Amino acid sequence: MAGLPYIVGNWKMNGTRAMLAEARAIDRAASRFPGVQVALAPPFTLVNAMREAASDIGVGGQDCHVQASGAFTGDVSAALLADAGADFVIVGHSERRALHGETNQLVRDKAEAAQAAGLGVILCVGETEAERDSGSAETVVTDQLAGSLPQGEEAAAKLSVAYEPVWAIGTGRVPSVGDVGAMHRAIREKLTATYGEAGAAVRILYGGSVNAGNASELLAADEVGGALVGGASLTAEAFTAIIGAAAALAEQA
C-alpha cells in the first residue's frame, strides 16, 4: 500500500453546524489511530468551522472552480477553499459528472487549479452499471483517467484517485473483492504509465457503499489504499468503525 491508509468522508449536501459535534468526535477517534490518515469533506459552508473544530483530520471541499477568482456567482475556487482552511478537494465525483455535466477536461482543469492553489486532490472515476454489464468498465475508467489526470511535474505528489462504481454509490451494493482489485490494478498501471515512478505512490481509494461491515474486506483488496465514504461518514460511530478497520489492517501489514 502506498503510504498510510487514507479514509475520507464525503458529507455531500449534508451538514448543519449541529453536525460539527460528529466532526469533533471523528477528530477524537482519528487521534487514537495515528496509523490512518483521516479526512472529511463537508459542504463549503462548514469547511472553515470544521477546520477550527478539528485538529487531527484533514478538511476538504467537494468541488472547486477552475479560476482563482472572478465573476462566477455561486462558485468557490480552490484558492478560496485553501483560505478557508481546506487541505484538499474532491474533483470529478460522479454526481458532479452526471448532474453538472462535468467533462474529463473540466475535471482535469479543476485538479490542476487545486494543485496550483496548494490543495491535495482526490480525483474520482467509475463506471455505470450498464458499462459494467457490457464489459467495458476498465476501458471507461482508464479513459476517464486519461482525460482527467492532472499533468505537470508535481501532479502525482498531491493526488489520490478514488474508484467509485456509480452503481455502488448509496445502493448498499459493492463489487466483488476480485473486481475491486482488478480495477485498482488497472488504475495503478495507468498511473505509472502517466507519472512513472511517482505513480506508484498515488493512493487509490475505493468508494461506494463502504460501511463497518464490509470495510475490512474492501480495504484488503489489491491496491486499495483507503476509502471514500459517503453515508457511513455522517456519524462518528459508523465512520470510526471504518477507521478502526483500516487501522487493524495496517497493523497486520
Catalytic positions: 93, 164
C-alpha torsion angle, residues 65, 68, 69, 71 (rounded to 10): -40
Total residues contacting ligand G3H by CB under 6 A comes to 14
**What is the contact mask toward ligand G3H in residues 93 to 122, using x (rule: CB under 6 A)?**
x-----------------------------
**Would you mind telling me the total number of residues written for the chain in this entry?**
253
10 marked as part of a ligand binding site: yes
The answer to the question of residue 170 lying near ligand G3H (CB under 6 A) is yes
Residue closest to ligand G3H (Cβ): 230
- Using rule CB under 6 A, residue 10 touches ligand G3H: yes
Amino acid at 43: P
Phi, then psi, of 232 in degrees rounded to 5: -80, 5
Q: Taking CB under 6 A as the rule, does residue 229 contact ligand G3H? A: yes
Of 242, 224, 233, the residue nearest 59 (C-alpha): 233
Beta carbons within 10 angstroms of residue 182's beta carbon: 17
What is the C-alpha separation between 207 and 11, in angstroms, rounded?
Answer: 13
Q: Which three cell numbers stand for residue 125?
A: 472515476
The answer to whether the CB of 93 falls within 8 A of the CB of 85 is: no
Query: Which residues touch 247 (CB under 8 Å, ≥6 apart)?
Result: 5, 33, 35, 36
Question: Is residue 208 within the footprint of ligand G3H (CB under 6 A)?
Answer: yes
The answer to whether the annotation marks 211 as part of a ligand binding site is no
Cα separation of the two ends of the chain: 9
Q: Which region among 42-50, 105-113, 226-234, 244-252 touches ligand G3H (by CB under 6 A)? A: 226-234
Contact 26, 50 (CB under 8 A): no
Q: Does 160 bind ligand G3H (CB under 6 A)?
A: no
Q: How far is the CB of 169 from ligand G3H (least distance, A)?
A: 4
For residue 91, state whether it binds ligand G3H (rule: CB under 6 A): no
Residue 210 interacts with ligand G3H (CB under 6 A)? yes
**Beta carbon of residue 31, minimum distance to ligand G3H (angstroms, whole number):** 23
Q: Is residue 11 marked as binding?
A: yes
Residue ranges for the known binding site for substrate are 10-12, 170, 209, 230-231
Residue ranges for the known binding site are 10-12, 170, 209, 230-231
Contact set with ligand G3H (CB under 6 A): 10, 93, 164, 169-170, 207-210, 228-232
